Amino acid sequence: MQNNKIESAETPQITNTTLSKRVKRVLGLDLHGWEAIMVWSLGVAAVAAIAVVVATRVVILLQRESLTESAEEFAKYKVNAGLEIAQATARAEEAILAQERIKAAVAWRRLTKEQHDKLVSAFKETRLSLFVCSLTGDPEGARFRDDIVKALSDAGMKVTPASFHGLRDAQGHLLHVGLNVWADGNDMKVIKEGFAAAGITLVDTHLGLIAAPKPQLIVGTKPTPF
């Protein structure tokens, strides 16, 4: 018995201890918490990626529709613009023609070079003596008379320029408007045909059926254009 007690005293006692693991935390969350956050974030990212794909597709479709509408609107704009330009061009041309008519209405009568040459050619074989008269106080008519006198003189005709007050009707209107010719028989025919070759129309003037003492060309007032 004594030996057993001594052995018990000499045998060291082993204390049972439990080792506890130390858990690390970041921002108050352990590993499992962060794993849960990662899984959640991946899910959110996946949803966001799907949303981006859908949004991109929608944007592409809307852009295509917008481009189509823009193309249609541009085509309509070109048609409308073309019509407006055509209308504006037509109005401008009408305005130009109106201006030309006004210029022609107020411009003095003159023989062109072509008319001059045609008169020379038409009367170069004609042996006529002709009075070419204008109305007193009508400078435009006098200038036109001088052009005619020169052309007929260049053709070899004997031409005498003159002026007179003209004859008036009962209402006081001048009887001489435009180019009047006073001549008899064949002389009338020759003079009218010669001026017609130059594109100039003469009006018969019989002055009361009085026989013309000598063929006369009377440069009356310029006819009114309207």
Whether residue 217 contacts residue 132, with contact meaning beta carbons closer than 8 Å, is answered with: yes
Distance from C-alpha of 170 to C-alpha of 16, rounded to nearest angstrom: 159
pLDDT digits (tens, 9 = 90+) for 51-108: 888 888 888 888 887 788 778 788 888 888 888 888 899 899 889 988 888 887 788 9
pLDDT digits (tens, 9 = 90+) for 189-213: 999 999 999 999 998 875 554 556 7
pLDDT digits (tens, 9 = 90+) for 36-45: 777 777 777 7
Q: Give the pLDDT of residue 177.
A: 77
CATH topology of domain 113-219: Alpha-Beta Plaits (3.30.70)
Look at the block and give the residue holding tokens 């052009």.
147
Whether residue 225 contacts residue 104, with contact meaning beta carbons closer than 8 Å, is answered with: yes
In this predicted structure, the answer to whether residue 3 has a pLDDT above a threshold of 60 is: no
- The pTM for the full model equals 0.56
Distance from C-alpha of 52 to C-alpha of 34, rounded to nearest angstrom: 26
Distance from C-alpha of 34 to C-alpha of 25, rounded to nearest angstrom: 10
For the chain, what are the domain ranges?
A: 30-107, 113-219
Q: Give mean pLDDT, residues 18-29.
A: 59
Q: What is the DSSP string of the chain?
A: -HHHHHHHHHSPPPPP--PPPPPP-BTTB-HHHHHHHHHHHHHHHHHHHHHHHHHHHHHHHHHHHHHHHHHHHHHHHHHHHHHHHHHHHHHHHHHHHHHHHHHHHHSPP---HHHHHHHHHHHTT---EEEEEEETT-HHHHHHHHHHHHHHHHTT-EEEEEEE---B-TTS-BS-BSEEEE--HHHHHHHHHHHHHTT---EE--TTTPPPSS-EEEE-BPPP--
pLDDT digits (tens, 9 = 90+) for 139-193: 999 999 999 999 999 999 999 998 887 666 555 555 677 888 888 888 989 999 9
